[in-house]
Chains A and B, each alone.
Chain A
Amino acid sequence: EAGVAQSPRYKIIEKRQSVAFWCNPISGHATLYWYQQILGQGPKLLIQFQNNGVVDDSQLPKDRFSAERLKGVDSTLKIQPAKLEDSAVYLCASNSRTVYEQYFGPGTRLTVT
């Protein structure tokens, strides 16, 4: 079974530029999560999707971050405009409705200069 796929793996941008990350969850997993992990900290949830609906986006900075999962499969997370403090690893995870374990993709390391 293929794992969670993410791209790109690395991205370097200047502040005020925009960036987008892509995630394809494990096949059949209805729930998809985006987490932000700042160096030295544990991952923090940004947004949770159930199929193509948003379950929790309470910690998503909505003035600059947006995410979508239009067909209930893959998802895109966008940052516009980026700030220096957005430098982090962006992790995508997924699980099924009946199995609570979440599995993570390799992550995208974003550096904002």
Chain B
Amino acid sequence: QKEVEQNSGPLSVPEGAIASLNCTYSDRGSQSFFWYRQYSGKSPELIMSIYSNGDKEDGRFTAQLNKASQYVSLLIRDSQPSDSATYLCAVSEYGNKLVFGAGTILRVKS
């Protein structure tokens, strides 16, 4: 059974701080890794994808992947109250179904 584990949170950070979200996965065959943001009552919104070991930066977001440790993380710099949401980690083999974690609730306090 392929599993994706995330801390449920809530993770509370002050406005302007760095939020660090973590995810581990069990299937070593996983090749694609994604972070989705989900606001309450809304559907998941893709914010980052990463396929190779190392860091990938996009604006205030940085995704980090370590396949040897089966670990994916998302850093959000200069956190804003609008970043408050549930962050879902998802993994897949190329082009196939996503296996999601349960999500981490992030709260950014102004």
Contact = CB atoms under 8 A, between A and B. Distances in A.
Interface of A: 31, 33, 35, 40-45, 48, 55-56, 89, 91, 93, 95, 97, 100-107
B42 A106 contact: yes
B4 interface: yes
Given A48-B97, A97-B95, A100-B32, 6 more contacts: A40-B102, A43-B100, A89-B43, A101-B34, A102-B34, A104-B43
Contact of B97 (A56, A101, A106): A56
Q: Which of B90, B100, B101 has the most CB of A within 10 A?
A: B100
A42 B46 contact: no
Interface in B70-110: 88, 90, 92, 94-103
Contact of A100 (B36, B44, B92, B102): B92
Contacts of B92: 100
Contact of B101 (A31, A42, A91, A93): A42
Nearest to B105: A40
A95 B49 CA distance: 13
B44 A104 contact: yes
Contact of A44 (B32, B45, B100, B103): B100
B9 to A, nearest CB: 12
B88 A101 contact: no
A21 B36 CA distance: 23
A49 B45 CA distance: 21
B7 to A, nearest CB: 13
Nearest to B4: A42
Contacts of A89: 43
B43 A91 contact: yes
Nearest to B42: A106
Contact of B49 (A41, A55, A101): A101
A33 B4 CA distance: 19
